[in-house]
Structure 1
């Protein structure tokens, strides 16, 4: 099995009230449960990023498609990884998506 990086893109906004936070947590926990042993690392949400451009210029806006978090998942290939991502809870939010990239083992 290969490993894939799931990069969650979206608003990065956390729910305002406890009931909505619990519903969000339950949705993610349920999805990770369905993936079972394919979950290598659940990952975490991330804060607003900075982008360093050629010449050293730094942009503080988080980029055109801000990263909200990440996970590492095992799958047969990238198509299998994409199938596994189809039920990701972030996809229920408007303008959110899951970017998938193979992790290339450079250490043998």
Structure 2
């Protein structure tokens, strides 16, 4: 079954203990709903750098990544349907970029 990379953009890191607990519960419930299709839960990420032929920019680009997950799905449609349940999408604080992972034989 193909793998799909979810790249998270936006969102925020909660600081209030109650908000931390609610956020973790929302992500836990979403991951539980994904079930066996959750291949790599992933993590949030920190400040990113963009490396190009022009050098290194410390800004992470126009829409920096804030985290990632890898899921298994039968199709792009199935993967994007899963992504619609992401807590950042549901609460309007961010978005999920979905891309199929292509296997390359080495």
Structure 2: how far apart are the matches of 1:66 and 1:90? Answer: 15
Aligned length: 105
Q: 5+ residue gaps in structure 1?
A: none
Q: Deviations over 1:7-64 (max 9, x none)?
A: 00114x3112110001000000000000100000100000110111223x21111211
Aligned to 1:58: 56
Higher strand share: 2
Partners of 1:73 and 1:85 lie apart in 2 by 10
User: Structure 2: any 5+ residue segments left out of the alignment?
Assistant: none
Using structure 2 for the length normalisation, give the TM-score: 0.93
TM score, norm. by length of structure 1? 0.91
* In structure 2, C-alpha distance between the alignment counterparts of 1:20 and 1:42, rounded to whole Å: 21
User: In the alignment, which residue of structure 2 is the partner of 1:101?
Assistant: 99
RMSD: 1.3
Which runs of at least 4 in structure 1 moved beyond 3 Å after TM superposition? none
What's the counterpart of residue 3 of structure 1? 3
Query: In structure 2, what is the Cα distance between the partners aligned to 1:3 and 1:34?
Result: 17
Give the alignment partner of residue 90 of structure 1, picking from 81, 88, 92.
88
In 2, the alpha carbon distance for the partners of 1:103 and 1:75 equals 11
2:98 aligns to what SS in structure 1? Answer: strand
